[in-house]
Amino acid sequence: MKHKILELYSGIGGMHCAWKDSGLEGDIVAAIDINTVANEVYRENFPDTYLITKNIQSLTVSEINKLEVDTILMSPPCQPFTRNGKYLDDSDPRTNSFLYIISILKELVNIENILMENVKGFECSTVRNLFIDKLKECNFDYQEFLLCPSQIGVPNSRLRYYCLGRRKSSKWHYERKEEIISEPPFEATSLFPLRDILEKTVLEVYYLNDKVLKWGKVLDICYKDSRRSCCFTKAYSHYVDGTGSVFTEMSPEFVKNCYSEANKFDIGSDEYIAKLKELKLRFFTPKEVLAIMMFPKDYVIPDGTTMKQSYRLIGNSVNVKVITELLKVLFM
């Protein structure tokens, strides 16, 4: 069967990349996002896809049904379910568009399959309960997951909630479980080293300046042979603590010795910063972060997109490989 897919909250097209990578039969017939910068990136990579720039709440039941799509892929705003978003849950206006989709799901007569991604924490929310209740009401089988890319061979920590939904009118061969699954239902590959994704030439702008180096104590440092990295968020390069790893060509031993020397000085002092400069620490480039997020090698960020915009867009996206494998489970 050749599926017709609607990509909601399409962002820079991580779901689209996963669909193409899955090898499943079908096309993304329409994508919608309100972010104009994200849409410019999406259009650069998927020029033939019908891309709608407007609020999802203005997308009517009639418009969706006319598209004759049988599948929805979506990654609704995650901020209402995060610490930085103050865990406002359904009280956060950023949930309104997803609540709207939940409210009209019963009227979307052609929808047989759903894949939804969000942050860890969503599984404890009121919005999650409303979503699951609606899937049951609309006669969907569903399976919830909490999965990390590192479980399937990707050297990155990005624990996320996923939900697969399949209407019971179409047989699903996956044997679902009532609980949220934390082990991937597909075979994992070995973690690859970060050297595999590094660019050969990196501009000076990506190297850590004095303002960043004074916070050297909280940096998560990766090396060529590292088979791990921290979750990259939309604040990467703007804030240091908890937004993603940094990289050095130096050896772990050299780094250890350098920090030992630097710690003889007051943290953040000129002497401390001067010592850490020897490490030549830098941010991973947007292209490298895309590779860690398993976007295809031919994926591009258009010229004119600033460094800050690039990191924000990528940090808001999905890990392509995890979505790819879950799509295969959904359509098995």
Provide the CATH topology of domain 200-284.
DNA Methylase; Chain A, domain 2 (3.90.120)
Query: Where do you find CATH 3.90.120.10 in the chain?
Result: 200-284
* Cβ–Cβ under 8 Å, residues 162 and 330: no
pLDDT for the residue numbered 223: 98
| Burial class for 203, CB neighbours closer than 10 Å (0-12, 13-18, 19+) | exposed
Mean pLDDT taken over the chain: 95
Task: Summarize the confidence of residues 173-202 as an average pLDDT.
Answer: 94
Query: Measured between alpha carbons, how far is 195 from 305 in angstroms, rounded to an integer?
Result: 26
Stated length of the chain: 332
Question: What is the share, in percent, of the chain residues with pLDDT greater than 90?
Answer: 89
Active site residues: 78
Is the confidence at residue 86, as pLDDT, over 80? no
* Cβ–Cβ under 8 Å, residues 323 and 117: yes
More confident residue, 129 or 94: 129
Residue 322's H or E segment, with its range, is: helix 320-330
| Cβ-count burial 235-256 (b if 16+ within 10 Å, e if not) | bbbeebeebbbbbbebeeeebe
Angstrom distances, CA of residue 68 to CA of 110, 164, 235: 6, 20, 37
Q: What is the dotted CATH code of the domain comprising 3-184+318-331? A: 3.40.50.150
Is the confidence at residue 300, as pLDDT, over 90? yes
pLDDT for the residue numbered 85: 65
Query: Where do you find CATH 3.40.50.150 in the chain?
Result: 3-184+318-331
Query: Measured between alpha carbons, how far is 98 from 301 in angstroms, rounded to an integer?
Result: 27
Is the confidence at residue 304, as pLDDT, over 90? yes
pLDDT, tens digit, for every residue of 95-124? 999 999 999 999 999 999 999 999 999 999
